[in-house]
């Protein structure tokens, strides 16, 4: 369902439901949420890559499967326990308000739509193929984009681009996504490029990476005095680590550092 493959300190998470354009039905929702839990909780994993199988990233939620289950629940009807758990963890699966605490790199090949595009907004670095397409089409279905779009899209690509995408439901191609800053780069093999970047991230000092990522995310919505104070606090924690001392020693001794995450 959701494949998790380990490449050194990198977890490669693949949504594999090609018959439904990698849309997430209850079993896949639950599997994906548990994959994020694994990445978050395993100290040996330092970075994650998210991608989709068979030339599709994800079409988001499988509405044919999730809406009837949600409606039954709203009517207080009994539903299978695993379906109830999947509905409860749907936001986690799409990384809506769920932070794994480690860098995420996205590799997008083909459609990245609705909930799939919501998940993309929670990643830190993004590559796509020329075949990639993106949209948030909930308004065309009378729905509300309840994931990351109304919270993060304006912060990432700017007001006018975000509002155009959210209010029209239009689909954009890879070049347009690059032009507005939704992705880092358009490449023929986004998974290979994502893995290269993830390995570079994972080779760096884990406390420094985590602290830098945390500072950027926390300081996004702070005023300048609060942001600088928060930066100083996190920097102090990182600079007191054993890894910081090891990095300085390795630089002086002209050798590769051996980081231990402490």
Q: Would you please indicate which residues are annotated as catalytic (active-site) residues?
A: 138
H-helix or E-strand spanning residue 82: helix 81-88
**CB distance 92 to 145 below 8 Å:** no
**CB distance 133 to 170 below 8 Å:** no
**How many other CB atoms sit within 10 Å of the CB of residue 224?**
8
Token pair, residue 131, equals 């075949």
Q: Report helix angle 206-219 to 242-253, nearest 10.
A: 120
Q: How many Cα atoms are found within 13 Å in the side-chain-facing hemisphere of 34?
A: 13
DSSP 153-204: HHHHH-HHHHHHHHHH---EEHHHHHHTTSSSEE-S-HHHHHHHHHHHHHHS
Could you give the C-alpha distances from 253 to 90, 146, 242, 247, in angstroms and in order? Answer: 49, 52, 16, 10
Q: Report helix angle 63-74 to 81-88, nearest 10.
A: 100
**CB distance 102 to 124 below 8 Å:** no
Listed in sequence order, the residues at least 6 apart from 131 whose beta carbon sits closer than 8 Å to its beta carbon are 55, 109, 110, 174
Distance CA 133, CA 130 (A): 9
């Amino acid at each position: 369902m959701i494949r998790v493959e380990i490449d050194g300190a990198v977890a490669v998470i693949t949504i594999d439901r090609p018959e439904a354009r990698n849309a997430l039905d209850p079993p896949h929702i639950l599997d994906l949420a548990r994959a994020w839990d694994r990445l978050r909780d395993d100290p040996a994993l330092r970075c994650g890559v998210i991608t989709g199988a068979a030339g599709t990233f994800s079409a988001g939620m499988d509405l044919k499967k999730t809406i009837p289950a949600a409606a039954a629940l709203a009517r207080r009807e009994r539903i299978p326990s695993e379906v109830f758990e999947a509905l409860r963890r749907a936001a986690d699966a799409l990384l809506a308000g769920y932070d794994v605490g480690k860098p995420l790199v996205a590799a997008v090949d083909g459609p990245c739509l609705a909930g799939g595009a919501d998940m993309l907004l929670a990643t830190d670095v993004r590559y796509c193929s020329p075949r990639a397409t993106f949209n948030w089409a909930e308004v065309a279905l009378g729905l509300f984009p309840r994931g990351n779009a109304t919270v993060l899209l304006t912060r990432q690509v700017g007001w006018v681009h975000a509002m155009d995408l959210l209010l029209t439901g239009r689909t954009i191609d890879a070049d347009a996504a690059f032009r507005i800053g939704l992705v880092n780069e358009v490449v023929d093999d986004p998974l290979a490029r994502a893995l290269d970047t993830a390995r570079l991230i994972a080779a760096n000092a884990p406390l420094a990476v985590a602290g830098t990522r945390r500072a950027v995310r926390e300081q996004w919505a702070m005023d300048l005095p609060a942001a600088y104070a928060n930066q100083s606090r996190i920097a102090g924690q990182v600079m007191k680590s054993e890894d910081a001392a090891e990095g300085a020693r390795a630089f002086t001794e002209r050798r590769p550092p051996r980081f231990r995450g402490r």
